């Protein structure tokens, strides 16, 4: 009889920057996607520190029951002086670059 391989992740979750970007894009398109993502991720488990910075601010906005959209997110990143650390002027292109539906 064949044995089922153990698929548990010994070193944490797999890292894939494109997948992480897609998660951010999904949250921007539908804020309800954040709750499912937050069950498995936090800003420190994400591979890219840039993506982690976005996710942290998105999480804070959600916890404050505020909308997560590009304008509000940009404002929060500017308020914390994090615009450059997450990509600077490219911020305005986040929805288009982070979600396949936006391409």
Give exposure, 40-54, as e/b (b: 16+ Cβ within 10 Å).
Answer: ebebeebebebbbbb
Using an 8 Å Cβ cutoff, are 64 and 72 in contact? Answer: no
Please state, for a pLDDT cut of 90, what percent of the chain lies above it.
Answer: 40
Tell me how far apart the alpha carbons of residues 8 and 97 are, in angstroms, rounded to a whole number.
31
Task: Report yes or no on whether pTM surpasses 0.85.
Answer: no
CB contact at 8 A, 52 and 44: yes
80 — pLDDT class (breaks 50, 70, 90)? very high
């Amino acid at each position: 009889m064949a044995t089922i391989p153990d698929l548990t992740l010994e070193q944490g979750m797999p890292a894939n920057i494109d997948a992480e970007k897609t998660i951010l894009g999904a949250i921007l398109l539908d804020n309800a996607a954040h709750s499912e993502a937050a069950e498995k991720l936090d800003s420190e488990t994400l591979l890219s520190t840039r993506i982690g910075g976005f996710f942290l601010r998105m999480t804070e906005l959600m916890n404050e029951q505020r909308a997560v959209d590009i304008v509000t997110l940009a404002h929060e990143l500017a308020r914390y002086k994090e615009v450059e650390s997450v990509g600077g002027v490219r911020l305005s292109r986040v929805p288009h670059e982070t979600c396949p539906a936006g391409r």
